[in-house]
Amino acid sequence: MGIKFDGTKVKDGSTTVGTVRGDKLCKGTGHTALGTVRGDKLCTGTGHTALGTVRGDKLCTGTGHTKLITMKDAAKAIGATSQGPATALVWWFFVK
């Protein structure tokens, strides 16, 4: 099947592989943070190391300006309609 994100749960078929809790993406249905949204930055776990940055309609590497993917394409890849930082975080951990 494929990864689907409904705004709260990330599913691969019928299995929940991730859950968005506030600004955190947690593994499965638990509370272990895979990544966190801090403003426009995607960070590791609950830490401060920037993985990527949302700049307008694109997702860039680290804190730089090198484009990885457009937000529209990231949303399409995970079956979402929203194009915010949470969508970018789900794409980063489950599709990239």
Q: Looking at residues 4-16, what average pLDDT do you find?
A: 94
- The dihedral region occupied by 56, where left means phi > 0, alpha psi between -120 and 50, and beta the remainder, is left
Place of tokens 């809790």: 21
**3-class DSSP state for residue 89?**
helix
> Would you state the pLDDT for residue 47?
77
Using the predicted structure, report yes or no on whether residue 1 has a pLDDT greater than 70: no
- Judge whether 94 and 10 are in contact, CB under 8 Å: yes
Q: Looking at residues 4-29, what average pLDDT do you find?
A: 94
> Would you state the pLDDT for residue 17?
96
- Rounded Cα distance, 92 and 78, in Å: 10
Domain ranges across the chain: 3-94
Q: What is the pTM of this model?
A: 0.91
- Residue 65: which pLDDT band, with cuts at 50, 70 and 90? confident
